[in-house]
């Protein structure tokens, strides 16, 4: 399925890049990231997938109830094992399923509203969310972990990759390249 494949590509890219990052670089605060670390951005990204995984089992997703797991943001091995587990979960899901999404935007209380959704919609959201944070992580990696080889498509939306490829073809046809 297209969504599972897209998600697997993203998770594999994350895994490949994180494998290259040293323990110290993983937790190093980045000036460019306002003092947050690569590990904190990866933890944030993975916890959305964890919420989806847990919500798939229970039928209710609430991204606000993330664990903010310090081990996930400070221990490379735990992060890599979590990436592998999420990848397995995503690849095991071959059918859509109805879900409910709890959201709460009232700063005065923790009351939530419930929105009808489904697994495919939430997987799409998680893919987009991951790409966004990968773009941010790329900035931090370039600052604190020089030498890490980052794929050109890391943190870039599929539509942007297609657009860039079309631009190259257009320029080649026009004789510009």
Residue range 145-165, pLDDT digits in tens: 989 999 999 999 888 888 888
pLDDT at position 177 is: 67
**Cβ atoms of 96 and 31 closer than 8 Å:** no
Contact between 4 and 145 (Cβ < 8 Å): no
Q: Which residue is it, tokens 């690569």?
A: 38
C-alpha 5/C-alpha 11 separation (Å) is 10
Number of alpha helices (DSSP H) and beta strands (DSSP E) in the chain:
7, 3
**Res 107: pLDDT:** 87
pLDDT tens digits for range 29-76: 999 999 999 999 999 999 999 999 999 999 999 999 999 999 999 999
For 152, left (φ over 0), alpha (ψ -120 to 50), or beta?
Answer: alpha
Q: What is the DSSP letter of 95?
A: S
Burial class (CB in 10 A: 0-12, 13-18, 19+), 112: middle
Q: Which of 110, 150, 123, 144 is nearest to 38 (CA)?
A: 144
Kindly state which CATH superfamily the domain 2-173 is placed in: dinb family like domain (1.20.120.450)
| Contact in structure between 59 and 100 (CB atoms under 8 Å) | yes
111-152 confidence digits (pLDDT tens): 899 999 999 999 999 999 999 999 999 999 999 998 999 999
C-alpha to C-alpha distance for 82 and 44, rounded to whole angstroms: 12
Q: Where are the domains of the chain?
A: 2-173
């Amino acid at each position: 399925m297209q969504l599972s494949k897209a998600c697997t590509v993203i998770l594999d890219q994350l895994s490949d890049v994180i494998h290259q990052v040293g323990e110290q670089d993983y937790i190093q605060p980045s000036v460019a990231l306002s003092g947050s670390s690569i590990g904190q951005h990866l933890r944030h990204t993975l916890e959305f997938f964890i919420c989806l995984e847990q919500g798939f089992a229970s039928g209710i997703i609430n991204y606000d109830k993330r664990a903010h797991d310090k081990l996930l943001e400070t221990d490379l091995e735990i992060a890599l094992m979590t990436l592998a587990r999420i990848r397995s979960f995503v690849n095991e899901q071959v059918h859509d399923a109805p879900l409910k999404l709890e959201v709460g935007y009232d700063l005065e209380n923790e009351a939530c509203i419930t929105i009808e959704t489904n697994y495919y919609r939430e997987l799409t959201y998680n893919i987009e969310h991951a790409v966004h944070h990968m773009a941010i992580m790329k900035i931090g990696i370039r600052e604190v972990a020089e030498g890490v080889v980052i794929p050109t498509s890391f943190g870039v939306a599929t539509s942007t990759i297609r657009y860039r490829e079309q631009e190259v073809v257009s320029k080649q046809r026009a004789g510009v390249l």
